[in-house]
Structure 1
Amino acid sequence: MDTFDSKDFRAALGQFITGVTVVTTLDPAGQPVGLTANSFNAVSLTPPMVLWSLDKKSSSLQSFMEGDRFAINILSDAQRDVAMRFATRGVDRFAGIDILEGRTGLPLIEHCAAHFECRTVHRYEGGDHIIFVGEVLTCKRYVNEPLGFHAGQFVQLERVAA
């Protein structure tokens, strides 16, 4: 069996093209919390469920562990700056960002490709991450092209006829 280290593993994972999301919630004081994540996936159509994961060392972990809801904001191609802002530590991530209040009261980022507001139904240990599974309470799709990520870089998607 071949051996590999964490750098090899991360590089191999980077070969999978993903979308880019910002996951948001409210902390116990009602203040918005958010972070960039590309660990997003559909779980079930009936009932509608999605998942994402968060590093156990994240400063945002406690808010997501204590809260019972989260929102997935699928970023549009025009939101690379938003992705970088929500991936940066020690800054006010919401400063200068256009925010909507979702139907469930969660902060939603404007100009996205899609939004999902979810109720947390499961939390699982997954190595150095916590996996959050949510039942989708409401979702909306927009006409904006999604932001892609591949091999450590943002990518622009090109539509090709099937």
Structure 2
Amino acid sequence: MSMPPEPSAFDTLAFRNALGAFPTGVTIITTRDKQGNPVGMTASSFNSVSLDPPLVLWSIAKTANCFDVFAETDHFAIHVLNENQQALSDLFGRPSPEDKFAQLPITTGLLDSPKLDECIACYECQLEYKYEGGDHIIMVGRVLSFDVKDGKPLIFHAGQYRQLAE
């Protein structure tokens, strides 16, 4: 019987690259901080959980610059990006102090989460559960409202943006 490798021998970079073999959609998660300012981040860790009740999940790294805001919020909106929104993904993926919402048309959702235009889907969620997940926190949200539009999703695979083939 073989033994698992010692923790120090585990190659986390190779593991990250192996995880990149699984293509994902690209999302932006938004909420507001305690002062009411919009906060958002790019995430590819989105998935459905349940139809009844309607639950979805995503995860955030404990090292993310907006971790404290999302760790304390009780609501968020998840936006599925379309194939033409790579620049938006890049904007919200940068850990910069700039106001990422300054030039964007946004509306306010049911629970006060900022909503972005032009996405192919948006799920407005009330936080249902939070779970420890190693160096991440897993956020499970109850979907209270959703919008969906025609379009092709932005895809991320092997460290690069991709588009669906016809």
Bigger Rg, structure 1 or 2: 2
Q: 2:125: which partner in 1?
A: 118
In the alignment, the residues of structure 2 paired with residue 98 and residue 10 of structure 1 have an alpha-carbon distance, to the nearest angstrom, of: 34
Deviation at 1:88, TM superposition (A): 0.9
Q: 1:96 aligns with which of 95, 103, 112?
A: 103
Matches of 2:73 and 2:112, distance apart in 1:
13
Aligned to 2:34: 28
Cα distance, 1:106 vs structure 2: 1.2
Provide the rounded CA distance (Å) in 1 between the counterparts of 2:119 and 2:139. 21
Unaligned ranges ≥5, structure 2? none
Question: Which aligned segments of 4 or more residues in structure 1 are displaced greater than 2 angstroms?
Answer: 1-4
TM-score, with structure 1 as normaliser = 0.93
Asked whether the equivalents of residues 23 and 34 of structure 1 are also in contact (C-alpha less than 8 Å), the reply is: yes
Aligned-residue sequence identity (percent) comes to 47
Matches of 2:151 and 2:106 in 1, distance apart?
16
Task: Report how far residue 95 of structure 1 moved.
Answer: 2.3
TM (norm. structure 2) is 0.91
Matches of 1:141 and 1:103, distance apart in 2: 16
Q: Shift of the alpha carbon at 1:122? A: 0.6
Q: Does the CA-based 8 Å contact 1:36-1:87 persist in structure 2?
A: yes
2:59 corresponds to 1:64: no
| Higher mean C-alpha displacement, 86-95 vs 114-123 | 86-95
Counterpart selection for 1:81 from 62, 65, 87: 87
Instruction: Give the Cα separation in 1 of the matches to 2:60 and 2:128.
Output: 16
| Matched letter for residue 82 of structure 1 | L
Unaligned runs of 5+ in 1: none
Q: Give the number of aligned pairs.
A: 159
Among 44, 49, 68, which residue is 1:38 paired with?
A: 44
| Aligned equivalents of 1:95, 1:154: Cα separation in 2 | 25
CA-atom RMSD, angstroms? Answer: 1.3
Q: Deviations over 1:43-80 (max 9, x none)?
A: 00100000000011112111112211011000111100
Tell me the equivalent position of 2:56. Answer: 50
The answer to whether the Cα contact below 8 Å between 1:71 and 1:107 also exists between their aligned partners in 2 is: yes
1:135 matched to which residue of 2?
Answer: 142
Residue aligned with 2:107, SS: strand
Query: How far apart are 1:98 and its partner, in Å?
Result: 2.1
Residue aligned with 2:28, SS: strand
